[in-house]
């Protein structure tokens, strides 16, 4: 298996082990918090959500009216309060003025309660036996913090409170002065005693009006259901269902009252404004019409467009006449010139477009005479009387025709000049039209504006008058106030969850903080995190039933732990011939080094190896406590001070195992350090080893952190057993041990963790030591 995986798995187990070990705290805390949660739920009155929704009829999302005259259209009363934003209407519902009116209407300032087993039940409507009116509040008076209890008998009433020294006696419908206000209590004529309600203790609470209004404003939730719509939802969370519905219905009712009043005020102001404007516009319209009339008279204008059309027609007609007259004039001049140049035998042209029928007839007669003459000349001479007669006629006709043409020319020239004069007049009139039209249109435009405005104001005045007579509600109720059957509070599952979570967090936090603040070594991993030295044994904590010393064929967990200790110790000892010197030490007093030394020696001796235990802690001898009869026996101190010269005199049988002997510490010397340095300890060890009797020499030495005695002995040891005690030894001791090893003061060190609880064992903590350990119940295997 991957070592990394094993390490991660071990870390996870290590993290959760403290919590699993203390599972009873979690169960107990969970049960306690569950009971508290149930009590909390039972002691909390249920709160119900009431809701209503209304459609605001004339609320608009636009902030200004559209159209050319939108501003004036907004003056009309038919659109209620005029242009408004739906967001503003949300604010109107939450306004203090509306809430105040609802509170006054329903007398919400002094709620009445009946004290029940777990909570106080609010009495409202037909279930409330009393109607309490606040006649006058006392300014700057201290508000009552305790309830005011009401007891009534007949017409008499007794009021009492824990804040008052004496009771106040009064009667129904009588003004009563209280420390905070003047009130009057009346009977509710609609009262019906509620079923299954304890009415033994009935009381009311009081808050000043402003605070009550603020409380209701905070309780009210106003929401716009659709940002593009005009439907508003109103909701409150109250303990009493009827009270919640009455409050919401009252809000809608008061909102409509305010809207109608505002609309009427606005309509009245609008009508007054329109009347003033109508009078002003009427005068201005009269002035414009007078100006128009004067302009027409001064410019001889009846209808400017018609006259312009006539002048244009006259202009075109004059141009056509001038063209026609010019043509006739030129034709007459041509004929006259031709007549003057032609001989007697030449005819004149006919049908050239002359309009004068007389001239045309004369030309035709002239040509007839010329043709007749020419015919005579074919058979006669010019002197022929017929020819002469014809010539005479031709001359006369020619003279008459010439005069006729000249007369036509004169007439046409006169007619042409007259038409040209008419054309000039028409063109002059046409040239004046743009200026006249500009001025006339300006006057006419002013007239139209004034007329339109005048007519509009007349219409708006009628609309405002009609609007004042219309009292349609602005907020149309879509859903009348209703209450959801399921209470919104207390939220039982959430409360249970929170309490159970707290129930888990309390022991979790306690265990976690304890682990963080834990300054002592508790389990094997606490040591392995602080030092790289091997942990060669974990000795279980003794119970009151356990023996302090192991015995022969002992199969207890402690004996098994010491056997594992011995096995690991043999791997620590150097590969040389015996005897082996093993120094047992610790950091401070009380960590169990003498207990470890003694039991280690007994286990070593159980394999028929001879073991000698030396009580080298001459400052605080502890080895004698395992054999009280040897307290006064001579020991190591006497040998070191040369009071005893033969080592055999201070070796005593242990009394526990025939293969185990003790050298007790002896008396406490005044100079322990000097004795340990005088060389006699080396002589003792040399003498013992020379016997070749003992395979193991166990030195029970003084604590390293307190005195230097053990450092003087350390170099004489083949292995050092460093004893720590669970929940006693400080973690900081490991730093001292590390420095001692790094400085070569201690060598070949193995650590023993003594007094460890079974649940804190590094290995086998779920199974115990030995084959004969008591088998655990199945549920214990999970913890």
Position 592 scores a pLDDT of 94
201: pLDDT strictly greater than 70: yes
* Chain Cα centroid distance, residue 256: 33
**57 vs 65: CA distance, rounded Å:** 16
228: pLDDT strictly greater than 80: yes
CB within 8 Å of 292: residues ≥ 6 apart: 440, 443, 444, 447
555: pLDDT strictly greater than 80: yes
Mean pLDDT of 744-770: 76
Asked whether 213 and 96 are in contact (CB, 8 A), the reply is: yes
Dihedral sign for Cα atoms in the order 277, 279, 285, 291: negative
Position 436 scores a pLDDT of 62
Percentage of the chain exceeding pLDDT 90:
50
Burial class (CB in 10 A: 0-12, 13-18, 19+), 331: buried
How does residue 85 score in pLDDT terms, banded at 50, 70 and 90?
Answer: confident
Position 221 scores a pLDDT of 96
Mean pLDDT of 255-279: 83
Percentage of the chain exceeding pLDDT 70:
85
484: pLDDT strictly greater than 70: yes
pTM score, whole prediction:
0.59
Q: What strand order describes the sheet that includes 231-238?
A: 221-224, 231-238, 48-56, 475-483
Position 72 scores a pLDDT of 44
Number of H helices, E strands in the chain: 19, 21
Position 333 scores a pLDDT of 76
CB within 8 Å of 215: residues ≥ 6 apart: 207
Mean pLDDT of 210-236: 93
Structure-model confidence comparison of residues 426 and 385, the more confident one:
385
Structure-model confidence comparison of residues 306 and 699, the more confident one:
699
Query: What tokens were used for 242?
Result: 């009827």
Structure-model confidence comparison of residues 395 and 194, the more confident one:
194
Structure-model confidence comparison of residues 738 and 7, the more confident one:
738
Least confidently predicted of 177-181, 572-576, 727-731: 572-576
**263 vs 77: CA distance, rounded Å:** 7
Q: What strand order describes the sheet that includes 175-177?
A: 130-137, 181-187, 175-177
Position 82 scores a pLDDT of 43
Query: Could you tell me the end-to-end alpha-carbon distance of the chain, in angstroms, rounded to an integer?
Result: 25
Q: What is the mean pLDDT of the chain?
A: 84
384: pLDDT strictly greater than 90: no
Least confidently predicted of 211-215, 314-318, 595-599, 721-725: 314-318
Three-state DSSP at 466 gives helix
Structure-model confidence comparison of residues 9 and 505, the more confident one:
505
579: cis peptide before it, omega within 30°?
Answer: yes
Structure-model confidence comparison of residues 69 and 372, the more confident one:
372
Each residue's pLDDT tens digit, 502-547 = 999 999 999 889 878 889 999 898 999 999 999 999 999 988 788 8
How does residue 575 score in pLDDT terms, banded at 50, 70 and 90?
Answer: confident
**263 vs 739: CA distance, rounded Å:** 93
Mean pLDDT of 392-413: 78
Strands (E) in 86-147, as ranges, are: 112-115, 120-123, 130-137
**715 vs 706: CA distance, rounded Å:** 18
Query: What tokens were used for 311?
Result: 């002048």
Mean pLDDT of 276-291: 78
How does residue 398 score in pLDDT terms, banded at 50, 70 and 90?
Answer: confident
């Amino acid at each position: 298996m991957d070592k990394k995986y094993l390490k991660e798995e071990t870390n996870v187990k290590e993290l959760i082990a403290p919590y699993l070990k203390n599972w009873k705290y979690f169960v107990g805390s969970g049960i306690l918090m569950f009971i508290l949660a149930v009590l909390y739920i039972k002691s909390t009155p249920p709160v119900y959500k009431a809701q209503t929704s209304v459609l605001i009829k004339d609320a608009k999302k636009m902030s200004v009216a559209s159209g050319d005259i939108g501003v004036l259209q907004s003056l009309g009363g038919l659109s209620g309060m005029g242009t408004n934003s739906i967001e503003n209407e949300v604010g109107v519902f939450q306004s203090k003025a509306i809430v105040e009116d609802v509170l006054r209407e329903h007398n919400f300032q002094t709620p009445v309660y009946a004290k029940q087993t777990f909570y106080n039940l609010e009495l409202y409507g037909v279930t409330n036996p009393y109607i309490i009116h606040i006649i006058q509040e006392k300014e700057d008076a201290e508000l009552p913090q305790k309830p005011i209890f009401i007891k009534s008998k007949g017409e008499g009433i007794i009021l009492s409170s824990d804040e008052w020294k004496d009771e106040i006696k009064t009667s129904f419908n009588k003004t009563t002065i209280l420390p905070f206000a003047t009130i009057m209590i009346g009977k509710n004529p609609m009262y019906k005693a509620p079923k299954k309600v304890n009415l033994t203790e009935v009381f009311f609470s009081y808050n000043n009006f402003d605070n009550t209004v603020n409380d209701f404003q905070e309780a009210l939730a106003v929401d716009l259901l659709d940002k593009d719509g005009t439907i508003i939802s109103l909701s409150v969370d109250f303990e009493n269902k009827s009270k919640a519905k009455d409050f919401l219905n009252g809000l809608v009712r008061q909102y409509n009252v305010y809207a109608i009043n505002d609309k009427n005020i606005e309509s009245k102001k609008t009508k007054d404004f329109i009347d003033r404007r109508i009078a002003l516009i009427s005068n201005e319209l009269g002035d414009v019409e007078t100006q128009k009339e004067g302009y027409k008279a001064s410019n001889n204008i009846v209808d400017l467009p018609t006259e312009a059309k006539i002048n244009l027609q006259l202009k075109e007609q004059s141009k056509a006449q001038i063209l026609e007259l010019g043509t006739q004039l030129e034709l007459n001049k041509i004929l006259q010139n031709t007549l003057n140049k032609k001989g007697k035998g030449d005819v004149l042209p006919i049908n050239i477009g002359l309009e004068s029928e007389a001239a045309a007839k004369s030309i035709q007669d002239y040509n007839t005479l010329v043709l007749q003459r020419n015919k005579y000349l074919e058979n006669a001479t010019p002197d022929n009387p017929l020819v002469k007669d014809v010539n005479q006629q031709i001359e006369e006709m020619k003279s008459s025709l010439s005069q006729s043409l000249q007369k036509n020319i004169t007439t046409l020239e006169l007619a042409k000049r007259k038409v040209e004069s008419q054309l000039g007049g028409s063109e002059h009139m046409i040239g004046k039209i743009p200026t006249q039209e500009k001025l006339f249109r300006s006057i006419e435009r002013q007239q139209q504006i004034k007329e339109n405005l005048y007519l509009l104001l007349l219409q708006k005045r009628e609309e405002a008058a009609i609007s004042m007579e219309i009292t349609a509600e602005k907020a149309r109720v879509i859903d009348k106030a209703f209450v959801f059957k399921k209470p919104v509070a207390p939220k039982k599952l959430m409360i249970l969850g929170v309490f159970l979570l707290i129930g888990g967090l309390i022991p979790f936090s306690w265990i976690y903080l304890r682990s963080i603040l834990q300054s002592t070594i508790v389990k094997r991993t606490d040591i392995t995190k602080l030092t790289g030295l091997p942990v060669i044994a974990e000795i279980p904590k003794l119970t009151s039933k356990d023996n302090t010393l192991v015995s022969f064929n002992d199969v207890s967990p402690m004996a098994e732990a010491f056997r594992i200790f011995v096995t690991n110790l043999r791997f620590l000892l150097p590969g040389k011939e015996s005897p082996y010197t093993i120094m047992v030490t610790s950091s401070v007093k009380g960590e169990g080094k003498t207990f470890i030394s003694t039991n280690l020696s007994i286990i070593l001796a159980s394999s028929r190896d001879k073991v000698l235990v030396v009580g080298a802690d001459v400052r605080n001898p502890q080895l004698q406590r395992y054999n009280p009869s040897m307290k006064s026996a001579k020991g190591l101190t006497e040998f070191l001070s040369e009071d005893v010269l033969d080592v055999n005199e201070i070796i005593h049988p242990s009394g526990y195992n025939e293969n185990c002997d003790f050298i007790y510490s002896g008396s406490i010397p005044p100079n322990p350090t000097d004795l340990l340095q005088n060389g006699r300890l080396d002589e003792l060890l040399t003498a013992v080893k020379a016997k070749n009797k003992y395979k193991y020499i166990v030195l029970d030495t003084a604590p390293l952190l307190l005195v230097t005695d053990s450092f003087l002995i350390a170099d004489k040891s083949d292995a050092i057993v460093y004893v720590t005690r669970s929940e006693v030894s400080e973690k900081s001791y490991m730093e001292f041990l590390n420095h001692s090893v790094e400085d070569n003061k201690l060598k070949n060190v193995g650590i023993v963790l003594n007094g460890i609880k079974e649940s804190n064992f590094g290995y086998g903590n779920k199974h115990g030591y030995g084959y004969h350990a008591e088998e655990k119940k199945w549920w214990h295997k999970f913890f």
